[in-house]
Amino acid sequence: EKSFLTLCYNRVRYDYTILKSQFDHQTNEHARVLEDRRIRYEAEIGRLEKDREELVTQYQESDILRDGKRVETLLREKAQLHLRMKGLEAEVAELQAQKESSGQQAERCQTLVCRCVSNWSGWRVSWVLSCEQSILLSGKLHKAEREVSSLCSQYDKLESLKYSHKMEMATVKLDCARAKGEMERERDTLQRQIDGTHLQTDVEVVTAALERHKEVLVETQRETARRVQCAREEELRKSAALLEEKLELEHRLASIEHQRALQEASDHNLKEDWEERLRRVQQSEECARKELHNLRCVFLMLACVCCHKVLHAIIGQNNISKVSSLLQLERLSRSESDLKETKQRLQQVSERLREELRAALAQAEKSQDEAERLMEQRQVEWFQEEHKLQQREAELQQKYSHVKEKLQRAAMAQKKRMVLTESKERKHLNKIELLEARIVELELQAALYKK
């Protein structure tokens, strides 16, 4: 599309260069012709002045009746010249009407171009607003994704803590149950064997049991650390998935920005093309107006010269020869043929301008239809993209609310479990202290029994 626009622009510029060179050549040619005619008319006026002086001297010696006949002949020639002048005025009026019609067509073309430019400006403003809205939605989406990722990480941490707490509680319960059973067995054993013969052996058994409990506790801590590591790896995997989704959305946003830049460039080129065509039409109109003004000046000069000749012929000429009349008629016919050629050339120029205007209007309508179609397609794509982003934002918002509620519930439950765990730990510590005190008491009793 860009190469086609460049080709069209080069072709229009080449046509403009050719037309400008033709116009300069015609202007120089008209100036040269006018200068030649001025010199020829001045020489003719000087010669006619001499003829007038000679005719004045002859008129003083001529017969009045013959002068009356010549005056009638001159009046008839004057009437014929007046008719020709009316015909030339009618042609000039027709040329002026054609100029006005071409000016109206140029104004219509300019109005159409202005309307296209205003429509394009409105479309561009709406498109910029939609792009800004999509950027805002993308920012909100990224913010929601960051919040969701942070909440997911917090939730995973809470889940890992919850799981580790459960494991610790189960281990503590198991240890407590085992300790309780062992303590009961030890109490029964100590009650049965109060004499103290096997007390040292029982103490060693209790010490071994405590060592065994410590090893189990260390193994439980290792298992808890391993599970925490697995939870962290799962969190990293989820973060990588969210990062990939974010990169994909950024890539789509960059593609949309690239399409917007291409659309702006094509619209700018189209606007420059229409402005160049409008300038070319205005220049052609100005050239036609100048040429018509020059022709009008030439026509007025010829009319003044003819009137001057007629007045001099009526007032002072006495014996104008038929040769001078024929020469004057020949000059007038030559001027008439020049005017006809100029009229034909102006008609060709106006016809060419009409064709260019029709082609420009057709191209403008085609470009407007294409721009409307592209704009509708882009608007549909933007609306779909905006709808998808809104759906994605709603889903993330819903997911965020669910995760937030779940985290709040988990935090409350964790708080309750921590309180219960602390109370149970205090109870177990109290029991352990009592058992240790009981063991010390039993050791003292065993020592006393041995003595």
> pLDDT confidence of 314, banded at 50, 70, 90?
very low
Q: Would you say residue 331 has pLDDT above 80?
A: no
Please count the CA atoms within 13 angstroms of the CA of 342 that sit on its side-chain side: 28
What is the mean predicted confidence (pLDDT) over 55-69?
64
> pLDDT confidence of 194, banded at 50, 70, 90?
low
* Better pLDDT: 23 or 278: 23
Q: Would you say residue 174 has pLDDT above 70?
A: yes
What is the mean predicted confidence (pLDDT) over 386-398?
77
> pLDDT confidence of 75, banded at 50, 70, 90?
confident
Structure tokens at 54: 């000679």
What is the mean predicted confidence (pLDDT) over 104-116?
67
Q: Which of 28-42, 245-259, 303-317, 400-414 has the lowest mean pLDDT?
A: 303-317
Report how far residue 121's alpha carbon sits from residue 189's, in angstroms, rounded to the nearest whole number.
99
What does pLDDT average to over the chain? 70
Q: Would you say residue 198 has pLDDT above 50?
A: no
Q: What is the pLDDT of residues 124-166, one digit of tens each?
A: 676 667 667 767 766 766 776 777 677 667 667 767 766 766 6
From the list 125, 444, 64, 120, the residue with the least C-alpha distance to 436 is: 444
Report how far residue 245's alpha carbon sits from residue 390's, in angstroms, rounded to the nearest whole number.
16
> pLDDT confidence of 418, banded at 50, 70, 90?
confident
pLDDT given for residue 74 in this prediction: 72
For residue 364, count other CB atoms closer than 10 A to its CB: 18
Q: What is the pLDDT of residues 235-266, one digit of tens each?
A: 677 667 766 766 776 676 667 667 767 767 77
pLDDT given for residue 27 in this prediction: 82
Distances (CA, A) of 269 to 3, 8, 231, 272: 11, 11, 57, 5
From the list 392, 320, 348, 446, the residue with the least C-alpha distance to 58 is: 320
Q: What is the pLDDT of residues 266-295, one digit of tens each?
A: 767 766 776 676 677 667 667 766 766 666
What is the mean predicted confidence (pLDDT) over 212-220?
68
> pLDDT confidence of 316, banded at 50, 70, 90?
very low
Contact 338, 294 (CB under 8 A): no
Q: What is the pLDDT of residues 334-375, one digit of tens each?
A: 666 666 676 677 667 667 766 776 776 677 677 667 767 877
Report how far residue 170's alpha carbon sits from residue 64's, in angstroms, rounded to the nearest whole number.
154
Structure tokens at 383: 């609306």
* Better pLDDT: 17 or 8: 17
What is the mean predicted confidence (pLDDT) over 373-399?
77
User: What percentage of residues in the chain have a pLDDT greater than 90?
Assistant: 0
Q: Would you say residue 309 has pLDDT above 60?
A: no
> pLDDT confidence of 317, banded at 50, 70, 90?
very low
pLDDT given for residue 94 in this prediction: 76
Q: Would you say residue 196 has pLDDT above 80?
A: no
pLDDT given for residue 330 in this prediction: 60
